[in-house]
């Protein structure tokens, strides 16, 4: 991938900003409750919190899959909630997403799965690998090489291990040349070794490309080792927002108990 031109604007302006965002799903359920947060360009932020705390809801506000009931969401300088149609699609091209279950097309080859990452900017259906422009196939091979799987290009995607499948999903995401990567529990289905490999790859790619990463996770230690910052959520509210630098293992477990709502004066809700 080309080295991006980094101007001081992108360094000083956050890639993402949520201002007093509340999402009311009805029936008394607040997916997000008065959330204000900034996500710095090029940084990796981990969202930590129990199931149901609002992590996916927050991520879905960033690419316009959810619209806030109140408050505003700004992504790459644009007010997401006000975008429809083409401007929304254009913004979504800058935002890649990876998921817990990888969402690959199992019977398709690895290379073709990676090529589908470009569908957002190609016109018309692609029914086989040969229907992608040669330049797209070449780029897909480069991305596969970047995630260490060039030798698996022609294998069926569903024959790969979970860790390898997530790396393919990352290669597919990179086909968009995104500015932002949203990762919704990207390692929740992986064994601990594969989980570290995937987080490490995300970290490398983020620093190579100034890619802003926002990822939900369950493991505090992974968050400390791979993120620049941790945002803790509980019942749709931010209960923690702190840099991981200088954070120690004991504090890590404190964070966990505070996020899970079990204890800790001073770390509790607002
Ligand atoms: N589409 C929806 N409709 C109604 N309630 C929802 C919807 N999506 C999420 N919720 C609720 O919002 C809260 C936060 O959910 P979610 O963001 O999925 O949490 P997490 O990703 O942290 O597990 C939960 O109470 C969940 O049931
Ligand atoms: Mg979720």
Please give the residue that has the higher pLDDT: either 257 or 117.
117
Please tell me the predicted confidence (pLDDT) of residue 128.
78
Report whether residue 215 contacts ligand 1, using a CB cutoff of 6 Å.
no
Amino acid 248: pLDDT:
66
Q: Above 50 in pLDDT, residue 51?
A: yes
Q: What is the DSSP letter of 4?
A: P
User: Quick one: pLDDT at residue 270?
Assistant: 34
Other CB atoms within 10 Å distance of the CB of residue 134:
8
Ligand 2 centroid to Cα of residue 50, in Å, is 9
Cα gap 2→175, rounded to integer Å: 12
Residues 185 and 216: beta-carbon distance below 8 Å: yes
Write the pLDDT tens digit of every residue in 119-171.
Answer: 877 766 677 787 889 999 999 999 999 999 999 999 999 999 999 999 999 99
Task: Indicate the domain borders of the chain.
Answer: 1-94+178-270, 103-177
Residue bearing the CA closest to ligand 1, atom 11: 31
C-beta 29 within 6 A of ligand 1 = yes
Q: Does 85 have pLDDT greater than 50?
A: yes
**How many angstroms separate the alpha carbon of residue 11 from the centre of ligand 1?**
32
Query: Of 67, 6, 81, 91, whose CA–CA distance to 40 is shortest?
Result: 6
Average pLDDT over residues 184-211: 97
Predicted confidence at residue 12, as pLDDT, reads 61
Atom of ligand 1 nearest to the CA of 30: 12
Q: Could you tell me the CA-to-CA distances from 219 to 215, 227, 236, 263 in Å, in that order? A: 12, 12, 19, 18
The CATH number of the structural domain formed by 1-94+178-270 is 3.40.50.300
d(CA 59, CA 57): 5
Please give the helix or strand (H or E) that residue 213 lies within, else none: strand 212-217
154 lines ligand 1 (CB under 6 A): no
Sign of CA dihedral 63, 142, 1, 196: positive
- pLDDT at position 29 over 80: yes
Across the beta sheet with 212-217, what order do the strands follow? Answer: 95-99, 180-184, 212-217, 44-48, 229-234, 237-243
Task: Give the number of the ligand closest to the Cα of residue 47.
Answer: 1
Report the candidate in 51, 86, 83 with the shortest Cα–Cα distance to residue 235.
Answer: 51
- Atom of ligand 1 at shortest range from CA of 53: 22
Q: What is the pLDDT of residues 226-266, one digit of tens each?
A: 999 999 999 999 988 989 988 765 665 565 565 555 433 33
- Tell me the whole-structure pTM to 2 decimals: 0.90
User: How many whole angstroms from 206 Cα to the centroid of ligand 2?
Assistant: 22
Q: Kindly give the distance from the C-alpha atom of residue 132 to the centroid of ligand 2, in angstroms, as a whole number.
A: 33
């Amino acid at each position: 991938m080309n080295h991006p031109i980094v101007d001081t604007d992108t360094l000083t302006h956050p890639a993402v900003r949520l201002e007093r965002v509340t999402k009311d799903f009805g029936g008394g359920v607040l997916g997000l409750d008065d959330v204000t947060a900034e996500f710095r360009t090029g940084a990796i932020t981990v969202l930590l919190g129990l199931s149901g705390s609002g992590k996916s809801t927050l991520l879905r506000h960033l690419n316009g899959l959810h619209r806030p009931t109140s408050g505003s969401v700004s992504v790459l300088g644009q007010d997401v909630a006000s975008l429809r149609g083409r401007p929304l699609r254009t913004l979504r091209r800058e935002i890649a997403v990876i998921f817990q279950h990888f969402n690959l097309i199992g019977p398709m080859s690895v290379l073709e799965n990676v090529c589908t990452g470009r569908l957002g900017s190609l016109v018309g259906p692609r029914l086989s690998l040969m229907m992608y422009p040669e330049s797209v196939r070449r780029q897909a091979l480069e991305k596969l090489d970047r995630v260490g799987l060039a030798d698996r290009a022609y294998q069926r995607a569903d024959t790969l291990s979970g860790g390898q499948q997530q790396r393919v999903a990352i290669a597919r995401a990179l086909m968009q040349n995104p500015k932002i990567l949203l990762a919704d529990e990207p390692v929740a289905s992986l064994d601990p070794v594969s989980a570290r490999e995937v987080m490490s790859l995300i970290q490398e790619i983020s620093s190579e490309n100034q890619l802003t990463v926002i990822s939900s996770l369950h493991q505090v230690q992974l968050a400390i080792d791979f993120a620049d910052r941790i945002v803790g959520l509980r019942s749709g509210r931010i209960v923690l927002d702190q840099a991981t630098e200088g954070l120690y293992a004991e504090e890590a477990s404190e964070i966990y108990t505070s996020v899970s709502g079990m204890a800790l004066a001073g770390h509790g809700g607002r």
